Structure 1
Amino acid sequence: MKFKEIIELLPYQKPFLFVDELIEISENGISGNYTFQKNESFYEGHFKDNPITPGVILTETMAQIGVVCLGIYLLKDKISSEKKPKIALTSNQIDFFLPVLPNEKVTVISEKEYFRFSKLKCKVKMFNDKNELICRGTIAGMIIAK
């Protein structure tokens, strides 16, 4: 399955799609990136005169790249444009270390902990262009082909 096909199978669209490109993928993990454009709607009120990407959006970005894209890849033999994946976040625990500003590009690296009974759990990390750790943690979700 090609990277572009995985992104096209995501159940998101702008303005809630936080995947620009996938860099690497295997049965054990994935990496990809996203650039937060300065005109993203959430910057208007977070924070006044000092926009910072909300932690919930950083978590969503890590989930989209690190869990959902990987899950689509792992289910590649069961998913198609007619049989799209059903996805639900089940848990997350994220520690934040640095802010993400408008126009900043981030890279997400995810390592599969396990995938069984339709539950995928991954260790995820997010880095900036200087390769500084922005946040890290675990995210789990249910992914099935229906």
Structure 2
Amino acid sequence: MKESYNWIFGQLPYAEPFLFVEEILNINDKGVEGAYQFSSDADFYKGHFKNNPVTPGVILTECCAQIGLVCLGIYLLGEKTILENIGIGMSSSEMEFLLPVFPGERVKVVSELVYFRFQKLKCEVKMYNEDDKLVCKGILAGMIGVANE
């Protein structure tokens, strides 16, 4: 029986149209795998590129960060942690883009923990398309701490 990770979705600080996590396939103390399907009618496709829309690299990076950093960070903090006063922010990114992602495509993000200490989470992320081809890869880091009240 597959474990439910629905509690993580309730803690995510995102909502449509800026939520890029649909499914958590697997998660543990060493990493996370999740998936997202880009809606073919997303607003950013209207202007990127006019007659041949492609998912912008910044959106691919955001998808990797939401699945690979934020979902993993929430999991590592634990189900009983209340995140109402927690601030989450990306502190660094280094991404390499290898293939385009077109409207309507489903991607899978695989994230491996590099370290989590002193409120900083660092991960190696990879995104794959439906043909299991590597779309992009990189190193992302973020901070998790108590937000100002």
Fold shared per TM-score above 0.5: yes
Match runs of 1:20-39 below 5 Å = 20-39=22-41
Unaligned 5+ runs, structure 2: none
SS in 2 for 1:129: coil
TM-score by length of 1: 0.94
Residue in 1 aligned with 2:49? 47
For 1:113 and 1:25, how far apart are their aligned partners in 2?
15
For 1:134 and 1:9, how far apart are their aligned partners in 2?
28
Residue in 2 aligned with 1:61? 63
Whether the aligned pair in 1 keeps the contact of 2:8 and 2:79 (CA below 8 Å) is no
Q: Percent identity?
A: 52
Q: Figure out how many residues of one structure are paired with residues of the other and give that number.
A: 145
SS in 1 for 2:94: strand
Residue in 2 aligned with 1:76? 78
User: How much is the aligned-residue C-alpha RMSD, in angstroms?
Assistant: 1.5
User: Which deviates more from structure 2 when the two are superposed, residues 4-13 or residues 70-79?
Assistant: 70-79
AA aligned opposite 1:19 = V
- In the TM superposition, residue 2 of structure 1 has moved relative to its aligned partner by 4.1
Distance 1:84 1:69, change over 3 A: farther
For 1:85 and 1:32, how far apart are their aligned partners in 2?
22
Unaligned 5+ runs, structure 1: none
Distance 1:79 1:2, change over 3 A: farther
TM-score by length of 2: 0.92
- In the TM superposition, residue 144 of structure 1 has moved relative to its aligned partner by 2.5
Residue in 2 aligned with 1:18? 20
